[in-house]
Structure 1
Amino acid sequence: MGKNVEIPLLTAEDIECRISTVKATGGSILLYKDARCDMRILDSVFGIYGWQRQNELIDGQLFCTVRVQNPETKEWISKQDVGTESYTEKEKGRASDAFKRACFNIGIGRELYTAPFIWITWKGNEYNNGKPRIDLKVKSIKYNSRREIVDLVIVDKDGNIRYSMTNKPKKDIPLKKDPIDDAFDLAFQEIKEAKSGDDLASIFNRWSGLQSSKQFISALTERRQQLGIFKSNEIDAKTV
């Protein structure tokens, strides 16, 4: 048998920032990779002749299968996942999303699931008429031996640090009269936007303070069923 192929960890340049939950005081940020990043890494690791992709409709859902070839044994391995449509180009969005998910299964960018909860506080005129206007990027990112994120710095277009995992200002966490309400709002918004079982597991683990809430568990279970995922040991253990 050949050696396992090492999938490189994403660099700061590979990762993009997307605003998730939006409030008047600030917003939560999700880290993601695009399809071009996946293709570049597939080319780098397996060569342009060493991987394939195929889309197919199964029960009305668009799936993507990515096949990669072991450079030593020449054996082909397949990974498949389903995509969800985007807000703009539905079919193109589904195809791209399915491809990116299949690449997650191969191991490309899986470390993003270890990202912390990221909250950015708006400054100046960054929030107008209910919409945020801000460009963010990852300045630096570090991982431990388990391929988990241990340090992360996000900056705006002017280079100002807006989030630091190891030196996060307390004021970056908005608190109102009832902090648990904000926690519920943010957690439920993340659940609504979850696109895979791994997303839901990450949300479940990150919001440990809500794990005793029946409402929180119910929302996770409902989203899991919407995605067609019928088994989750961690979540099921809390719903017994």
Structure 2
Amino acid sequence: MKDLEFRPLKASEIDVRVGNVAKSGSGFFLLLYKNARVDQTILDETVGQWNWQCKYYQVKNTMVCSVGIYNEERNEWLWKDNGGDDDYQAEQVKAELSDAFKRACFNWGIGRELYYSPKIWVNQDGENDSKDHYSVKVIEYGTNKKITNLVIVNDKNKKVVFRYGKDKKTAETGDLTPKNDTPTVDEPKGSIDKRDLETIATLVNNFQNENSRKNFYAWLDNNFKTMSLENLTYSQGKIVLKRLGAK
């Protein structure tokens, strides 16, 4: 069976949301997301609208989505599953189902490039606020769909608030005056990106022997003074991903 190749997300298909806000009020992080409609579109484009399906089941308090893709060579459906957030409320079932579907599509590789987005810090000043809306203006990818160029703008004033990679000083991308994207601000414990946490936990659980896990947690304690992945900050999570060889 040939490996499925899903195209990377376009700038217009990526949602930008505000993540952790510094207690000092100096700035905030932005996170990149996709929505379920994007997954559906890419599945239709890649395998055809008749060659994929999804179904749901519940495990304790978690809704799990199973996305199946038909393989003509093997004449069978192949499935990959993932669950939404735990302890959902009845009125949030729709969001829970959508979340589980998006995560199952991540397992197939759709949008996985967002896992390795650079840290996106925005200074909270007179022009930018955590209550504003932001969008991706430019995104480009290199080898293995790694993000090589990223430009994010404030939808209110149309000014660039973050750039990464190549310097695109054009009228289309607007003012690319560098912002301070490496602030001297204390990130709160537990601010690790949820997707990074899931990836790290999976990689650690896949260690072949107990000694490897012990060595990893010893390294974690030595460098970050914690034995719990949940206590890591956003930046520490990125460092751990690199340590584990995540690409």
TM range (shorter): 0.7 to 0.9
Match of 1:110 in 2: 112
Deviation at 1:136, TM superposition (A): 0.6
Per the TM alignment, residue 123 of structure 1 is displaced from its structure 2 partner at its CA by 3.0
Paired position in structure 2 for 1:219: 228
TM-score of the two chains, using structure 1 as the length reference: 0.74
The one-letter code sitting in structure 1 at the alignment partner of 2:224 is S
The 3 A distance-change label for structure 1 pair 125 and 144 is closer
Deviations 1:81-125 (A, max 9, x none): 010167995211211111000000011001111101110112327
Instruction: Report the Cα distance in structure 2 between the residues aligned to 1:61 and 1:100, rounded to whole angstroms.
Output: 14
**Alignment pair present for 1:149 and 2:160:** no
Query: Does structure 2 retain, via aligned residues, the 8 Å contact 1:188–1:219?
Result: no
Partner of 1:96: 98
Q: C-alpha separation between the residues in 2 aligned to 1:147 and 1:195?
A: 17
* C-alpha distance 138-221 of structure 1, shift in aligned 2 (>3 A): closer
Aligned 8 A contact 1:28 1:117 in 2: yes
Question: 2: distance between equivalents of 1:62 and 1:195?
Answer: 20
From the superposition, tell whether residues 195 and 163 of structure 1 become closer, same or farther in structure 2 (CA, over 3 Å): closer
CA RMSD of aligned residues (A): 3.2
Quote the offset at 1:17 in angstroms: 0.5
What does residue 21 of structure 2 align with?
22
Q: Which amino acid aligns with 1:16?
A: D
Give the one of 172, 183, 207 matched to 1:174.
Answer: 183
- Tell me which amino acid in the other structure corresponds to 1:213: F
After superposition, the C-alpha distances for 1:12-46 in whole angstroms (9 at most, x for unaligned) are 11111111101211110110100111111111111
**1:165 partner SS:** strand
Q: Which runs of 5+ in 1 are unaligned?
A: 203-207, 224-231, 236-240
* Contact 2:123 2:179 (C-alpha < 8 Å) held by counterparts: no
Matches of 1:16 and 1:27, distance apart in 2 = 16
Contact 1:20 1:190 in 2 (8 A): no
Shift in Å, 1:55:
0.8
Q: Which residue of 2 aligns with 1:84?
A: 85
Give the secondary structure class of the aligned counterpart of 2:39. helix
TM-score (normalised: structure 2): 0.72
- Contact between 2:190 and 2:231, CA under 8 Å: does it hold in 1? no
Where 1:188 maps in the other structure, the secondary structure is coil
How many pairs were matched up? 206
Task: Say if 2:5 is the partner of 1:12.
Answer: no
After TM superposition, give the deviation of residue 164 of structure 1 in Å. 0.3
The 3 A distance-change label for structure 1 pair 33 and 210 is farther
Change (3 A) 1:174 1:222: closer
Structure 1 residues 189 and 201: CA distance shift in structure 2, 3 A = farther
Shift of 1:222: 7.1
Q: What secondary structure does 1:134 align onto? A: coil
For the residues of structure 1 that align with 2:158 and 2:121, how far apart are their CA atoms?
Answer: 17
AA aligned to 2:27 is G
